[in-house]
Amino acid sequence: MSKKPVVIELDVSEPVPTPAEAPVVVSEAPAPALEHGLRFAAGRRGFGIWKLFWAAFVALITFMIGVFIWDFAAEMLARNVWLGRAALGLLGLAVLALLIVAGRELATLSRLKRIDGLRAEAEAVTQSGDMAQAQAFQGRLLRLYHGRADVRWAVAELEDRKADVFDAAAVVQVTETQLMRALDDQAQGCIENAARQVATATAIVPLALADVVVALTSNLRMIRQIAQIYGGRSGTFGAWRLTKAVAAHLVATGAVAIGDDLIGSVAGGGVLSKVSRRFGEGVINGALTARVGVAAMEVCRPMPFVHEEKPRVTGIIKRSLTGLFGKS
């Protein structure tokens, strides 16, 4: 038995509500972004307490050392006038040297902060496409490298071409290709030298932990050299800040780098280890050093890699170790 369709007649005397007129449903649950922000704020509060603790602890130790030195100078002055004057003179020289070192460290940190600001500004210009902002960024970058002999020709050529570019994206592209390419070549050469040193020390030096010491010193020296190439000055606190930034960058991008680039070098080291275990370890340690160098380039470079290709660990290892363990 077939069923006939049923027709339901609507009452057209009243207007039918549309989906746009439906009431808004208000959720009482907190937004995920807000919840994440609250967690982040809670984490920052604990970190601030530890910062306060270490600042107070360092201030206390410094105060104790200062009181001890002052008591020593006062005792020398009470014992003999000339001994007291000599102690006060040495104390004045030490304080003066400490102030000079502190000034240099502050200048180093300020320069590194300036480079970080330029990199953030370059990313903002790339997203916004504002011509005035792009020209201002280019001017600040040219002032940063003004007077350097190694990029003098690139700076002069970029200044000559400023009037011929009328688009923000083109300004960023010309700035990166003309100015950053010369600095990238220097940084890659520095990474290749460090990778070669680490690989050679690992393969040749038979002493235990010697390769660890060589790798650590080579990586720290490489990070400082890359920072100097891109305009950052070396210093104790500046080097510590750079090392922390590079380590954080490796933690953030390590999985991508291993899946994309580093696995080839590690596989090459595994193949070579069948011939010689030390040679295989040398290739792997050299690849890890190259990965640290690439991360240092990304941290210290005042512009992100947009139009220029980021160096690959496999290519760096191939150039640095050619002729050392073989022809390829």
What is the full per-residue pLDDT of the chain (328 aa) written as tens digits?
A: 556 666 666 555 556 556 556 555 544 444 444 344 434 344 444 457 888 888 888 889 988 988 888 888 888 888 888 888 888 888 889 889 888 888 887 877 777 788 888 888 888 887 887 788 888 888 888 888 887 888 888 888 887 777 777 778 888 888 888 888 888 888 999 999 988 888 888 878 777 677 788 888 888 888 888 888 888 666 666 677 777 777 777 776 654 454 455 545 544 445 444 445 667 777 788 888 888 888 888 888 888 888 788 888 888 888 877 755 544 4
Tell me whether residue 156 is in a domain.
yes
Distance CA 139, CA 158 (A): 10
Query: Quick one: DSSP state of residue 180?
Result: I
Q: How many other C-beta atoms lie within 10 A of the C-beta of residue 50?
A: 9
Tell me whether residue 35 is in a domain.
no
Same domain, 200 and 55: no
**pLDDT in the model for residue 263:** 47
In total, the chain counts a number of residues equal to: 328
> Do 122 and 172 meet the contact criterion of CB atoms below 8 Å apart?
yes
Q: How many CA atoms lie within 13 A of 262 on its CB side?
A: 20
Same domain, 109 and 220: no
Of the three residues 77, 107, 122, the one that is the final residue of a domain is 122
Q: How many other C-beta atoms lie within 10 A of the C-beta of residue 147?
A: 9
Q: The tokens of 213 are what?
A: 């010491």
**pLDDT in the model for residue 291:** 87
> Do 201 and 214 meet the contact criterion of CB atoms below 8 Å apart?
yes
Q: Which residues contact 262 (CB under 8 A, 6 or more apart)?
A: 287, 288, 291, 313
Range of the domain at 130: 123-321
Helix locations, 30-80, DSSP H: 32-79
The label of the residue with tokens 């690439």 reads 294
Same domain, 211 and 114: no
Same domain, 198 and 274: yes
Same domain, 248 and 297: yes
Q: The tokens of 75 are what?
A: 């005792």
> Do 121 and 134 meet the contact criterion of CB atoms below 8 Å apart?
no
Beta bridge partners of 322: 326
Q: Which residues contact 30 (CB under 8 A, 6 or more apart)?
A: 38
What Å distances lie between residue 321 and 18, 209, 226, CA to CA? Answer: 71, 22, 20
Tell me whether residue 312 is in a domain.
yes
Of the three residues 122, 153, 169, the one that is the final residue of a domain is 122
**Is the whole model's pTM more than 0.85, yes or no?**
no
Q: Which residues contact 319 (CB under 8 A, 6 or more apart)?
A: 192
Same domain, 279 and 208: yes
Same domain, 137 and 234: yes
Of the three residues 122, 142, 158, the one that is the final residue of a domain is 122
Number of domains in the chain: 2
Same domain, 166 and 278: yes
Same domain, 169 and 59: no
pLDDT digits (tens, 9 = 90+) for 248-260: 777 766 544 544 5
Tell me whether residue 137 is in a domain.
yes
Same domain, 149 and 255: yes
Tell me whether residue 26 is in a domain.
no
Beta bridge partners of 37: none
Tell me whether residue 7 is in a domain.
no
Same domain, 201 and 262: yes
> Do 179 and 252 meet the contact criterion of CB atoms below 8 Å apart?
no
Tell me whether residue 40 is in a domain.
no
Tell me whether residue 50 is in a domain.
yes
Same domain, 93 and 117: yes
Q: The tokens of 145 are what?
A: 């490298």
